[in-house]
């Protein structure tokens, strides 16, 4: 030890706790990524209420199915825009699967009730309410 200096060995307890939590939580999505997904959800719901002429390419979803999911999807978009609300990477992966995977998602099937239930369950995973209200 040099005069006037203390020897520092290791990391601080606060930094160690943060590192431990980072391992259990995982990498959190950035606000840019969250805003991009929120905008995509808004466009998806708005597209379900839009008229598509027969000569224009229609989206790969059925409008009545997306309309049934609309309130839950807009609630998820609101959570994504709220910078005070933490969103896990696992919830973002679930959202990506629901929106983009035509084989695994109820959004691309012909049953609006099943899609609505799946969207509400996804919404509960974002808001932290595991049980239905």
What does the DSSP assignment read for 1-35? --TT-----S--HHHHHHHHHHHHH-PPPPHHHHH
Of 41-45, 49-53, 65-69, 115-119, the range with the lowest mean pLDDT is 49-53
Q: How confident is the model at residue 24 (pLDDT cuts 50, 70, 90)?
A: very low
Nearest to 97 by CA among 64, 71, 125, 133: 125
Please write the tens of the pLDDT for every residue from 2-21: 555 555 555 555 555 554 55
Tokens of 28: 């959190």
Share of the chain above pLDDT 90, in %: 42
Q: What is the DSSP letter of 59?
A: P
Nearest to 61 by CA among 69, 36, 71: 69
pLDDT of residue 133: 46
Query: Vertex 95, ends 92 and 101: CA angle to 5°?
Result: 125
pLDDT of residue 61: 82
What's the whole-number average pLDDT of the chain? 80
Query: Residues 17-41: what's their mean pLDDT?
Result: 74
pLDDT of residue 25: 52
Query: Which has the higher per-residue pLDDT, 88 or 66?
Result: 66
pLDDT of residue 53: 76
Nearest to 59 by CA among 95, 112, 100, 119: 100
pLDDT of residue 73: 95
The Cβ of residue 61 has, within 10 Å, a number of other Cβ atoms equal to 19
DSSP assignment of 61-84 = S-HHHHHHHHHHHHHHHHHHH-TT
Share of the chain above pLDDT 70, in %: 74
CA 104 to chain centre: 17
pLDDT of residue 9: 53
């Amino acid at each position: 030890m040099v005069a006037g200096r203390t020897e520092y060995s290791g990391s601080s307890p606060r930094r160690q706790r943060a590192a431990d939590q980072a391992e259990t939580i995982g990498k959190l999505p950035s606000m840019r990524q969250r805003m991009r997904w929120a905008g995509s959800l808004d466009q998806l719901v708005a597209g379900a209420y839009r008229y598509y002429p027969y000569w224009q390419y229609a989206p790969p979803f059925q409008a009545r199915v997306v309309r049934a999911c609309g309130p839950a999807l807009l609630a998820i978009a609101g959570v994504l825009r709220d910078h005070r609300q933490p969103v896990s990477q696992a919830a973002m992966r679930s959202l990506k699967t629901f929106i983009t995977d035509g084989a695994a998602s109820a959004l691309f099937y012909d049953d609006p009730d099943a899609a609505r239930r799946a969207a509400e369950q996804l919404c509960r995973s974002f808001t932290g309410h595991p049980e239905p209200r």
